[in-house]
Structure 1
């Protein structure tokens, strides 16, 4: 068990320390990889292409339709025989004999028909169908933007969690070094007879606990890297060398009102529901036009023959047709009521999503302000903990305090450093989430962070 754990620790150390074993990865590269490889983005892109094809499909309804049909008929039905003889230009005076009219001989008819249909106005279905297809394509485009935004948010969170795990491990490694140095001090005092054996045992137990935490911190690095790879759409076991981003944020930017206005204009969900309302209004208009007539033109050319070399004849027709719905069991009235109700529902959902967006922007904005304040507080706590440990170490070497106070001071410093790290990365994540809630994570707004390496 110990041997396996040792191997995993060594492999992780090599992956972090030897640049030749892994490619370097920064946040910009992680974003690009995610946009290329994440399967959710690929699925949304396919959906957008399908919606784009739907526009061409709707446009085809304006164009004429040309159909060719071929049929073979063998019959002795009196009216059919009479009709086919006329169509084949093969009707004779003798065919008017009553016996031949009532009991005709079987006849064969090969019919070729070419039909050209030109829609003129079908209760507005062509134009509304085309406009709805364009709206669906725009909605699919916004859904793709939203998917990209979500993926980029996941990538930034995963990338920063990976860096946080690395830094947290360094804090734990530093805590182990401090504990080992203090253990030497305790041993020296114990050997000199100025410390109890219980002091030595407590220091050893404390060191063992820190080493256990360090191993857990090493494991969190691998787990965080695996999560980052998955967010980028890559195999979980891919190794990388981190290139640290400039993650300090200038909190002086847009006001809460400006962030909210930006979100209501640019957030994919807001644009999506605007399009959804527009589509619902079009469906109401389409339901109203169901009361109007339908007008179409049709041209038909047909060729009839009894067979190759046999009598044959051709003919053509031009048809103009108008259909007016007089009564449809009130189904069209019900369809109009339904479309109007759907419009009211969609408008209510739009108001709800806009309220949700306002709340999310406010929450993200306030979280950024809080995170900014916490960075300064935790930085001061680290300085105080470092000074406190220095004083306690000096007092313990002089025999002026007990081992418990020394161990407590070490624990306080470790906790303060970890909390400061967490505050720094929470600050950066809060900035990312604010841009996400404003819908600007991809197409950044004009106010961008003033970048500076954190201490």
Structure 2
């Protein structure tokens, strides 16, 4: 599929963060607003609409074969050939039997303006099959645009949630820095008082440096996530598009059974519908190629006049009408090769449709499993966060009482941060998997 290769959202962005901007500017945007912006601005949808318009133009071109064709022409001939010159003189109504030398007529000029109309009476059904194929081409282009739209919305959702995850993870990193800084300040006071070892102070300084390093990496990552989102939205690098981090993001519901989801996908997935339309188009093209064996019949009528100059006179006009039937006896095997070509295109379209269905089934199963896995991890991570928070609280109390070392404090701090990171990743993995499931079932069609 043309439309299936563009946009790959780097899911690693879900793991890194950047500071939330505090400066004044545009109001934050919700996910729905981000989707509307992408649908209005993303150039890929404009390309797909142009392809729909192109398919409509091809349909109009196919329909033109059902209308009469009218042409105007002007021809000029000069000849001293007796037979041809004699015929031109007769057509010009200038034949005279006195003083004429039919064997040596001399040079004769003939101007012929004329209007010709032709109409195809029968072409073996090729015009009809061509019209059918063109109509299917329009439908295929529309389904391809729907598939591109689904892919775009899925990528916007993933990028949006990626930035939200980065913001939440950033808050954790800032909290970790503040906690370590506070503990370091207290440890320095205790060290000066002689109640804390120098190694404890140094360990906290190392921990603070690691936290600050993580924050620096997070700051760059959030800029990358924002840049990716703006690209999907069709916005320039200098334009601002803050997202709404205050709105709560609840976990999605447990997905339906695979059979139910597959039934939905097979009934409405635009990529599958487009593949089936391409098969139908290929079938019509096979019939078009086979129709070349049948005879063709055309009717025509022409009106014009012959004269030795461009002066028009109704006394010299004439009308010619007729019907011509022709059939190809031998075309150098071109007809047979065209049929073979069309049949191979049909085979390729059938295999492509089968491949599309298998790919959709795999995407559907993968998205379902990802969602189930993320929901389970989110549940476990929630329990782990509560335990890690309580453990850190107890260690802080013990640390203030001087019964645990700074190493134990650092371990508890790191465990708390890891628990929160796992919870954030699980929650946004679930939201992203829900978006993938929507795309796999054609929900956004």
**Same-fold status (TM-score > 0.5):** yes
Q: Is the 8 A contact 1:111 1:304 kept in 2?
A: yes
Q: Aligned runs of 1:152-171 on 2, under 5 Å?
A: 152-171=153-172
Q: Once the 2 structures are TM-superposed, how far is the Cα of residue 246 of structure 1 from its aligned partner?
A: 5.0
- Per-residue CA deviations over 1:100-124 (Å, capped at 9, x if unaligned) read 3332222221210110001111122
Are residue 339 (structure 1) and residue 342 (structure 2) matched?
yes
Q: What is the CA–CA distance in structure 2 between the aligned matches of 1:362 and 1:192, rounded to whole Å?
A: 62
RMSD: 2.0
Are residue 418 (structure 1) and residue 421 (structure 2) matched?
yes
| One of 259, 282, 285 as aligned partner of 1:283 | 285
Call closer, same or farther: CA 1:229–1:123 in 2, change over 3 Å: same
Q: Once the 2 structures are TM-superposed, how far is the Cα of residue 342 of structure 1 from its aligned partner?
A: 3.1
Q: Secondary structure at the match of 1:21?
A: coil
Q: Is the 8 A contact 2:396 2:409 kept in 1?
A: yes
Call closer, same or farther: CA 1:297–1:390 in 2, change over 3 Å: same
Q: What is the CA–CA distance in structure 2 between the aligned matches of 1:136 and 1:272, rounded to whole Å?
A: 9
Q: Once the 2 structures are TM-superposed, how far is the Cα of residue 163 of structure 1 from its aligned partner?
A: 1.0
Are residue 134 (structure 1) and residue 135 (structure 2) matched?
yes
Q: Aligned runs of 1:244-283 on 2, under 5 Å?
A: 244=245, 246-252=248-254, 254-283=256-285
Q: Is the 8 A contact 2:251 2:427 kept in 1?
A: no
Structure 1 equivalent of residue 147 of structure 2: 146
Structure 2 equivalent of residue 125 of structure 1: 126
Q: Secondary structure at the match of 2:145?
A: helix
Q: Once the 2 structures are TM-superposed, how far is the Cα of residue 391 of structure 1 from its aligned partner?
A: 1.8
- Per-residue CA deviations over 1:342-365 (Å, capped at 9, x if unaligned) read 323322322222122112111111
| One of 14, 17, 22 as aligned partner of 1:17 | 22
Structure 1 equivalent of residue 39 of structure 2: 35
Call closer, same or farther: CA 1:235–1:310 in 2, change over 3 Å: closer
Structure 1: gaps spanning 5 or more residues: 1-11, 444-455
Q: What is the CA–CA distance in structure 1 between the aligned matches of 2:335 and 2:310, rounded to whole Å?
A: 51
Q: Aligned runs of 1:16-415 on 2, under 5 Å?
A: 16-18=21-23, 20-94=24-98, 100-244=101-245, 246-252=248-254, 254-307=256-309, 313-415=316-418
Q: What is the CA–CA distance in structure 1 between the aligned matches of 2:399 and 2:410, rounded to whole Å?
A: 11
Structure 2 equivalent of residue 7 of structure 1: none
Q: Once the 2 structures are TM-superposed, how far is the Cα of residue 322 of structure 1 from its aligned partner?
A: 0.8
Q: Once the 2 structures are TM-superposed, how far is the Cα of residue 72 of structure 1 from its aligned partner?
A: 2.6
Q: Aligned runs of 1:426-441 on 2, under 5 Å?
A: 426-440=429-443
Call closer, same or farther: CA 1:310–1:287 in 2, change over 3 Å: closer
Q: Once the 2 structures are TM-superposed, how far is the Cα of residue 308 of structure 1 from its aligned partner?
A: 5.3
Q: What is the CA–CA distance in structure 2 between the aligned matches of 1:117 and 1:284, rounded to whole Å?
A: 27
Q: Once the 2 structures are TM-superposed, how far is the Cα of residue 289 of structure 1 from its aligned partner?
A: 1.7
Call closer, same or farther: CA 1:107–1:246 in 2, change over 3 Å: farther
Q: Is the 8 A contact 2:119 2:300 kept in 1?
A: yes
Call closer, same or farther: CA 1:112–1:42 in 2, change over 3 Å: same
Q: Once the 2 structures are TM-superposed, how far is the Cα of residue 250 of structure 1 from its aligned partner?
A: 4.1
Call closer, same or farther: CA 1:310–1:334 in 2, change over 3 Å: closer
Structure 2 equivalent of residue 452 of structure 1: none
Q: Once the 2 structures are TM-superposed, how far is the Cα of residue 222 of structure 1 from its aligned partner?
A: 1.9
Structure 1 equivalent of residue 7 of structure 2: none
Q: Is the 8 A contact 2:305 2:312 kept in 1?
A: no
Q: Once the 2 structures are TM-superposed, how far is the Cα of residue 309 of structure 1 from its aligned partner?
A: 5.6
Q: Is the 8 A contact 1:23 1:239 kept in 2?
A: no
Q: Secondary structure at the match of 1:17?
A: coil
Q: Secondary structure at the match of 1:94?
A: coil
Q: Is the 8 A contact 1:149 1:439 kept in 2?
A: yes
- Per-residue CA deviations over 1:119-176 (Å, capped at 9, x if unaligned) read 1111222111111111111111111111111111111111111111111111101111
Call closer, same or farther: CA 1:308–1:134 in 2, change over 3 Å: closer
- Per-residue CA deviations over 1:261-306 (Å, capped at 9, x if unaligned) read 1111221221111111111211222222222110110001121111
Q: What is the CA–CA distance in structure 2 between the aligned matches of 1:376 and 1:254, rounded to whole Å?
A: 19
Aligned length: 426
Q: Secondary structure at the match of 2:306?
A: strand
Q: Is the 8 A contact 1:249 1:431 kept in 2?
A: no
- Per-residue CA deviations over 1:193-232 (Å, capped at 9, x if unaligned) read 1111111121122112212212222222222111111110
Structure 1 equivalent of residue 11 of structure 2: none
Q: Secondary structure at the match of 1:195?
A: coil
Q: What is the CA–CA distance in structure 1 between the aligned matches of 2:331 and 2:54, rounded to whole Å?
A: 34
